[in-house]
Amino acid sequence: MDLNTCAHLLEEMENILILTHARPDGDTLGSAAALCHCLRTMGKNACLYNNPEITEKFLPFVQDYLAPKGFEAKAVVAVDLADQGLFPRGYSGVVDLCIDHHPSNSGYACETLLKATKASCGEIIYEVILALRGNLEKEEADLLYMAVSTDTGCFCYANTRGDTLKTAALLVEAGADNWKINKLMFRTFSRSRLVLEGLIYASLRSYRENRINIAVITKEMMQQAGATENDCDDIASLPGRVEGNQISATVRELDNGESKISLRSIETYNSSEICAQFGGGGHAMAAGCSMACGPTEAAERILQAILEVMG
């Protein structure tokens, strides 16, 4: 469906529940809250589904929009949610409208506005809000800036295009506090996270003139740093920062005695194929697998597999 049909559909809706995806990120939460704000200014009763996985970092941005107990939805809208498998915990039901940018969107909703060339869902919500109300309010600009900046890694990832930056510029012009949001999203870390990073870097194993880098994260290191899962966001990208790195692996010791491996590689190598040897998979440049052994043995096994591919 196109933008105007989507806006028309939203205009017809009442008592709207907006869904964010499982393990919600800045894009799904910022998009949902901005849309919710806009719908409320239009006099509609709209709320965000109370996603139990919202982390402390994002909660202040979405708190005012979360559904009160007993909210009875007449219409359900999902944002940035590609597949039913990514429904927020506790939700199962019909989705009337989905607004998304994932090329892999499975078409689970009754109606879908899909713009797969967009770097973030926030850019689509920006257009939807303009189609609905003709202007953008400051609260919406802040929320959409959070959406666009987080899905592009602060405009660093390869998905950042000219029109992504144009939308970001329009959001700043509409009042988005870009520097405050950037500081919170990209330049602020828990003390535990920083201590954990220190432990990871200090014990980093590098091979073949630093072309291979392996980080091992044990339960003991987590404990020593006082770190929880909340402190492990994007932790798998750390060993790949070493100059000259071609393939990096992050090995995490799990509670059940197994190890979880995240592999990252440059285009020359296929991470997914390496992980497939251990029953895992993923993308060509980012993949993962699990091994039924402790982290020391897991690190050794993944190193041997990498060495074999590197020749």
Residue nearest to Mn ion (CB): 27
Q: Which residue lies nearer to Mn ion by CB, 21 or 301?
A: 21
Where do we find the tokens 């998905």?
159
Contacts of 275 (CB under 8 A, 6+ apart): 261, 263, 281, 282, 287, 288, 289
Contacts of 96 (CB under 8 A, 6+ apart): 9, 13, 75, 76, 77, 109, 110, 111
As measured in angstroms, the least distance from the Cβ of 80 to Mn ion is: 4
As measured in angstroms, the least distance from the Cβ of 121 to Mn ion is: 5
DSSP string, 22-84: SS--HHHHHHHHHHHHHHHHTT--EEE---TT--TTTHHHHGGGBPPTT---SEEEEES---G
Q: Is residue 197 a contact partner of residue 238, using CB atoms and an 8 Å limit?
A: yes
As measured in angstroms, the least distance from the Cβ of 288 to Mn ion is: 20
User: Can you tell me the distance from the alpha carbon of 10 to that of 58, in angstroms, rounded to the nearest whole number?
Assistant: 25
Q: Which residue lies nearer to Mn ion by CB, 119 or 132?
A: 119
For the record, the structure tokens of 91 come out as 């939700």
Q: Which residue lies nearer to Mn ion by CB, 120 or 272?
A: 120
User: Can you tell me the distance from the alpha carbon of 39 to that of 32, in angstroms, rounded to the nearest whole number?
Assistant: 11
Q: Which residue lies nearer to Mn ion by CB, 80 or 231?
A: 80
Q: Which residue lies nearer to Mn ion by CB, 140 or 151?
A: 151
Query: Other CB atoms closer than 10 Å to residue 306's CB: what's the count?
Result: 23
As measured in angstroms, the least distance from the Cβ of 160 to Mn ion is: 13
Q: Which residue lies nearer to Mn ion by CB, 117 or 135?
A: 117
Q: Which residues bind Mn ion (CB under 5 A)?
A: 27, 80, 121, 151
User: Can you tell me the distance from the alpha carbon of 151 to that of 165, in angstroms, rounded to the nearest whole number?
Assistant: 12
As measured in angstroms, the least distance from the Cβ of 122 to Mn ion is: 8
User: Can you tell me the distance from the alpha carbon of 114 to that of 71, in angstroms, rounded to the nearest whole number?
Assistant: 28
Nearest to 119 by CA among 136, 137, 100, 138: 100
As measured in angstroms, the least distance from the Cβ of 81 to Mn ion is: 9
Q: Is residue 203 a contact partner of residue 216, using CB atoms and an 8 Å limit?
A: yes
As measured in angstroms, the least distance from the Cβ of 291 to Mn ion is: 30
As measured in angstroms, the least distance from the Cβ of 78 to Mn ion is: 12
Task: Compute the 3-state secondary structure of the chain and give helix, strand, coil in percent, each to the nearest 5.
Answer: 45, 15, 40
Q: Which residue lies nearer to Mn ion by CB, 101 or 252?
A: 101
Q: Which residue lies nearer to Mn ion by CB, 18 or 306?
A: 18
